[in-house]
Amino acid sequence: MFERKVALSFVQGSGAIEWLWNTNSYMTEANESPIGAVRADSTEKPEATVMRDFATFAKSLHSHLQSPRQPSVAVVTSQAAQFSILSDLQLEAQQKAVRALAYDLRICPYVVAENQIAKLGTPQLVILPSPQALNENTWQGLLAYVKGGGNLLITGPVSRDEHWHFHDRAKNLGLNAQTEPQGYRDAEIHLPGKTVPLSFDQQKQSALEALRFGDGATWMEASFGKGKVFWSYYSIELAEGRDSATAVYAYVLATLKIKPAFELQSPPAPGVLIYSTEFQDSVLYILESENVKDTPIDLRDGFIGARLTLTLPAQHAALALIDKQGKNVIARYGF
């Protein structure tokens, strides 16, 4: 698990901290005395080996990690909901959004908190997952993004500000819609040519609101300025499982012709994340397994056409840096 966490810290340069190197055996707190990479008798825990191996790998990276390409999809999080009594639901929505995109659809997004909306950039698609509430400045920032040619997917209502006061955000887009309590378990979203079933547990029935469009539709697509808004009646990320979120995201991605950065030549395996970042002279692949079995990986990079084949050990991580010009692996970890 420690290895997987350190590997994922290479995603968008998020970083990782090892809390202590040496164990403090004199600590009286039972949850504090065991931490650290080196025991009181100076023997090393497995964490020390992981960090040493990652340090060796990192030495060969520093000259290559320049000018990273921004991912094509962004997830904007609602802090208005996250800092409210619905905080656990907002975290669930964010986690399902990322897992549906990255694990199921192989589209790895970047995440922007609503108070950082100025750093949104120009992705092809922004997803606002089950917001319920949103700061007005963030909403206006998203509208400006769409007006300029962006695409926005909203799931469920966004009819409250950070103080939970009502704001008719649908009206900003010229839509006729009403916010209502979602006190029912089963529902459906009717996409063009496809119906997506939803089921909400008791907690969601008590806490969530839904958006009823004036024409009775459960799905809306509307042009706004140079861009487009996709809007779901329901908070799909908060339905049971993540199949519904995956189905809706897949439809929007296909509509906008957004494809993964690589093509799998081997069968996809559950619980395996593959994240790629294109740099000025290289492409970095981060692979992480939450699967109980070893997974054969065979993929073709979409940027340069290079092939990457390896066996990803169960519950472990692997990283590969591929040179753009030579199309070969010039640095590796875990395989």
Tens of pLDDT, residue by residue over 289-300, are 999 999 999 999
pLDDT above 90: residue 21 = no
Whole-Å CA distances, 242 to 15, 19, 188, 254: 28, 33, 14, 18
The residues, ordered by sequence, that sit 6+ positions from 115 with a Cβ below 8 Å of its Cβ are 79, 135, 138
143 in helix, strand or coil? helix
User: How much is the mean pLDDT over the chain?
Assistant: 94
Q: What is the pLDDT of residues 271-319, one digit of tens each?
A: 999 999 999 999 999 999 999 999 999 999 999 999 999 999 999 999 9
Pairing status of strand 110-113 against strand 209-213: unpaired
Instruction: Give this prediction's pTM.
Output: 0.92
Looking at 16-20, 61-65, 126-130, 151-155, which range is the least confident one?
16-20
Where do we find the tokens 């060969």? 60
Across residues 206-211, what is the average pLDDT? 94
**Tens-digit pLDDT profile for residues 216-232:** 899 999 999 999 999 99
* pLDDT for the residue 214: 87
Per-residue pLDDT, 13: 81
At residue 137, the pLDDT reads 95
- The answer to which of 14-23, 173-182, 201-210 has the lowest mean pLDDT is 14-23
Q: Tokens 């007005």 identify what position?
A: 136
Two tokens, residue 29: 């707190």
Residue 15: pLDDT above 90?
Answer: no
Q: What is the pLDDT of residue 35?
A: 86
Listed range (12-16, 94-98, 126-130, 327-331) with the worst mean pLDDT: 12-16
Residue 53, pLDDT above cutoff 90: yes
3-state secondary structure of 106: coil
Kindly state the average pLDDT of the residues 181-186: 94
At 171, give phi and psi (nearest 5°): -65, -30
- Distance, in Å, from the CA atom of 144 to the CA atom of 148, rounded to the nearest integer, reads 6
DSSP states of 245-278 as a string? HHHHHHHHHHHTT---SEEESSPP-TTEEEEEEE
pLDDT of residue 101: 97
Domains of the chain: 2-67+261-333 (no CATH), 73-255 (3.40.50.880)
Q: pLDDT value at position 181?
A: 94
Note the pLDDT of residue 30.
82
pLDDT one-digit tens code per residue, 242-276: 999 999 999 999 999 999 999 999 888 899 999 99
What proportion of the chain, given as a percentage, has pLDDT over 70?
100
